[in-house]
Amino acid sequence: MDFTLYWQLLFYFFCFITLIQVFYYLFFFIRLAAYKSKPKDTSQTHPVSVIICARDEVANLVKNLPGVLIQQYRTTHEVIVVDDNSFDETKYLLEEFQKTYKQLHVVQLKQEAKFIPGKKFPLSVGIKTAKYEVVLLTDADCVPASESWIEKMQESYDDGTEIVLGYGAFHKKKGLLNKLVRWETFHTALQYLSYALAGMPYMGVGRNLSYKKTVFFRNKGFTAHNHIPSGDDDLFINMAATRHNTKINIDPEAFTLSKPAKSWSQWLRQKNRHYSTGKYYKPSHKFLLGLYSFSHFLFYPLLVLSLLFFNWQWSLIVFGVRFLAQAFILYPAMKKLNEKDLYPWFLFIDIWMFFYYLLFVPALFKKPKKQWK
């Protein structure tokens, strides 16, 4: 039986999948690679309420909270820590911090919210407690990358802006796991920041996210997603963000840094929890993300089959087109997010992404677990 026609059709399908991938790079991802923030004619500052939710995180607060409390911001601001039913020494640590830092306010929650699993209830309490219109969110295991974090994040606000998407990076450590964690974080940011620049914001990360109380209450907070343990960041942004009210901020001084997962099992748990919210996105966003991921997943299997059974020269040419698009766009994008040390690894990790999809796609169909840490 002659399979020539079959392999020819498969090669054409490989070309089509490659075309989709190149389209994403040249239409979407190039926006982040080429992004330059517009200088403002006047510098405006806003009072800011920083909100951190913590549950049994005394060790993280000891290390990271001082970085929030020593921010050099000339305008009025406050730091609100919502202690969500902690059983460790969090309460006493915060009392000690309050003796030195008068801008620190603590909200003690002593009872679990019924039927609202996860982080949404303590975060809602923190937002309602906030005195100022602009709220800036981060986590207890995060530290600002500079003492100008608050100032730089709030600079993105102007008339009409209600949401600012920041970048939450991970500390650089030795080892393959750290590179994979940071690549996945960069790869996710490449998408949500690029799509926001294209007028299609679909998510943000709670490690570094800001919005106005007005947009929070206008959308009735997390009411639409209270039954879902995760999604206090991405599902709210998916619902509330528009092309007109959302900006990004990728100033390196506006980044936050988090402690990366130390084991494969810890990382798997984190990503399974995060991906379990994807099925609740708007249909247009699910299509946009799904088409990219599906074409990415198929690319290397189709490349191998085309190399083996069709024509290896033509197959390498098609591969080279996508590779050049990646090489051209990934370096400036990585440089902007301070991840350029990952650039020599991008081909290896891009191949590894095939197995990444196999690991985490099932999470889209799982019921979210009822915890937020």
pLDDT digits (tens, 9 = 90+) for 158-203: 989 999 999 999 999 999 999 999 999 999 999 999 999 999 999 9
Is the Cβ–Cβ distance between 127 and 221 less than 8 Å? yes
What is the spatial distance between Cα 366 and Cα 364, in angstroms, rounded to a whole number? 6
pLDDT tens digit string along 124-152?
Answer: 999 999 999 999 999 999 999 999 999 99
Domain ranges, residue 137: 48-274
Residue 191 and residue 128 share a domain: yes
What is the spatial distance between Cα 121 and Cα 43, in angstroms, rounded to a whole number? 35
Q: Which residues pair with 210 in a beta bridge?
A: 136, 164
Quick one: pLDDT at residue 243?
95
Q: Which residues pair with 209 in a beta bridge?
A: 137, 165
Global pTM exceeds 0.85: yes
Inside any domain, residue 372 = no
pLDDT tens digit string along 203-232?
Answer: 999 999 999 999 999 999 888 777 776 777
Q: Is residue 274 pLDDT above 90, yes or no?
A: no
Residue 74 and residue 174 share a domain: yes
Contacts of 310 (CB under 8 A, 6+ apart): 7, 8, 10, 11
CA pseudo-torsion sign 96, 102, 108, 113:
negative
Residue 177 and residue 66 share a domain: yes
The DSSP letter of residue 25 is: I
Inside any domain, residue 41 = no
Residue 303 and residue 267 share a domain: no
Strand order in the sheet with 168-170: 142-144, 256-258, 168-170
Domain end (from 206, 241, 274) = 274
Assigned token pair, 316 = 């390498």
Mean pLDDT score of the chain: 91
Q: Which residues pair with 211 in a beta bridge?
A: 135, 163
Residue 201 and residue 93 share a domain: yes
Residue 235 and residue 154 share a domain: yes
Is the Cβ–Cβ distance between 208 and 138 less than 8 Å? yes
Residue 125 and residue 22 share a domain: no
Q: What band does 373 get if pLDDT is binned at 50, 70 and 90?
A: low
